[in-house]
Structure 1
């Protein structure tokens, strides 16, 4: 069954191979087909990602999961590939697919937002519906049970509500509604889905309102690992879940970095990137670094009603400091992304830089070494130029994808 599906996917992607070389690339872990290049191997340098012709110049967003990928086009079509062993690709089977495949179940709907967890996927439509598929063993599908599903299934809880944004962590899900309310469901052991009925509750399979925000307009939500975050319209960042700053996990959102007006956020498993006024900062730690990160500026992380102290409770917690990422050769950072323990950025010149954990070649630097400072990725002679269109970079757990739009 898996071979037949892979063959069908290969046929769909083969005709676009030459065109795809100028439009999309992938590198890093590939043993489940998540690189979308027709194979099941790791690659340490950027490889052509075989987008079908109908995707050329139309990919508006890419969500990377544990080993699967969701691509959303500008007109609301969805393509998935990679690991499908829990049904997270939404094709009605459990196959691994090494080429992007159109999700036919959603063909009569216009999808506006997608997200990928470790083994689950979500799709929000222009009418505010939420469809989920994949692993549901922690309740992360929000369907009131712990069953997995291999076809997108509408979440009943949100039928009378309007879903606008999604953000999935390893085994939990966040949803932002049009009415400015935020809901969480799935694994709850680190507080990542907000307050539960009891502190001993390990998971929640029905969406729960996270109502601890001050009177503000939430414009985006983020999740990765056991972390959750939200950004309001004034650029204030709220975090909850597994401790990213300080010693303790928290099931209530709290404001951090009040001195910064943040425009973009990218969460990893043990670190986060924040972009503010063109300057890039990191909080947390890379456990695979062999030395301290570079510091061209350091500021204490100040917070209301909480003390900022160095963590001692386990090796994966962070220091209560903010590290400024050094200037990238005078180029302006325009987009950021994070995998489990690696990071990527794109500059205004269309240049990709990566750093952090490199064991699977996810940094695209021809080796498997970790990197402490951002390093330029050579996408090749046919790589993107500013005049050709904009470039987006996206990270899965141990892989990276770059896609150019028209």
Structure 2
């Protein structure tokens, strides 16, 4: 059989994980392969250019072993290598959302040096901010913070990951990021909310923003 025809009929690799941003998507395939598609204007596809991709396209040259997580923000992308204990990020860099210490766009996956060697349980990305839960139950956040969505007690953006001190003595199990607010569940099964609260999105009974995590105390 013609090799080209045979290749065309081969089953594609199994998809392990998928995530979607505002206008792009990323998938982790069996065999530790990452592919991306959609809008590429800000480098969020990781192919070294600003071109869109109309079909899933493998990110060539990215060989970090043991990828266990891929998460999209609105216009940027993150991945975690469990083997290396290393977070990677790429795409639109405004507000420090990539965690590289600046606001520069990045067009290929680059390591977040501030997180080197930290064992990560989970990553989450909002529109322009990111968070990481460590295996020790700590939470780090970085990126845009105009509504307090980083949980650091201010509205200043953070170009580098910072530990959320409000969780000192509290072990966090998981996090979720909305566009401009954040939620967390602790090991004790309690939920916390912070960031933009205009529509009651924090579950705290009002429309106020919160700059540090606050426990949701009631469920109707």
How far 1:158 sits from its partner (Å)? 0.9
1:160 maps to 2:117:
yes
Contact 2:138 2:167 in 1 (8 A): no
Partner of 1:228: 182
Question: Relative to structure 1, is the Cα distance of residues 240 and 200 closer, same or farther in structure 2, using a 3 angstrom cutoff?
Answer: closer
**What are the Cα deviations for residues 104-153 of structure 1, in whole angstroms up to 9, with x where unaligned?**
23334221011101111000011320110000111000111110100011
- 1:15 matches 2:15: no
SS of aligned partner of 2:103: coil
Whole-angstrom CA distance in 2 between matches of 1:162 and 1:144: 20
Alignment of 1:185-264 (within 5 A): 185-195=142-152, 199=154, 201=156, 203-213=157-167, 215-243=169-197, 244=201, 245=203, 246-256=206-216
Structure 1 residue 66 corresponds to structure 2 residue 59: no
RMSD: 2.2
Output one character per residue of 1:188-246: Cα deviation in whole Å (capped at 9) or x when no partner. Answer: 100011225xx452x21111111212644322211121011112234322111111132
Structure 1 contact 212–252 (Cα < 8 Å) conserved = yes
Q: How far did residue 179 of structure 1 move?
A: 2.2
| Residues 46-125 of structure 1 aligned to structure 2 (within 5 Å) | 53-55=11-13, 58-73=14-29, 75-125=31-81
CA contact (8 A) 2:181 2:196 kept: yes
Task: Indicate the structure (1 or 2) with the bigger Cα radius of gyration.
Answer: 1
**Structure 2 CA distance for partners of 1:220 and 1:76, relative to 1, 3 Å:** farther
Please give the secondary structure, in 1, of the residue aligned with 2:57.
strand
**TM-score, normalising length from structure 2?**
0.86
Q: Secondary structure at the match of 1:15?
A: helix
Distance 1:169 1:157, change over 3 A: same
Distance in structure 1 (CA, Å) of the matches to 2:12 and 2:209: 44
SS at match of 2:61: helix
- Structure-1-length-normalised TM-score: 0.48
Following the alignment from structure 1 to structure 2, what is the Cα–Cα distance between the partners of residues 139 and 81? 23
C-alpha distance in structure 1 between counterparts of 2:155 and 2:132, whole Å: 23
Any conservation in 2 of the 1:83–1:95 contact (CA below 8 Å)? yes
8 Å Cα contact 1:105-1:152 kept in structure 2: no
Gaps of 5+ in 2: none
Q: Which residue of 1 aligns with 2:96?
A: 139
User: What is residue 48 of structure 1 aligned with on the other side?
Assistant: none
Q: Give the one of 137, 144, 153 matched to 1:180.
A: 137
Q: Which has the higher contact order (CA 8 A, sep 6+)?
A: 1
Offset at residue 160 of structure 1 (A): 3.3
Contact 1:91/1:104, CA 8 A, preserved across alignment? yes
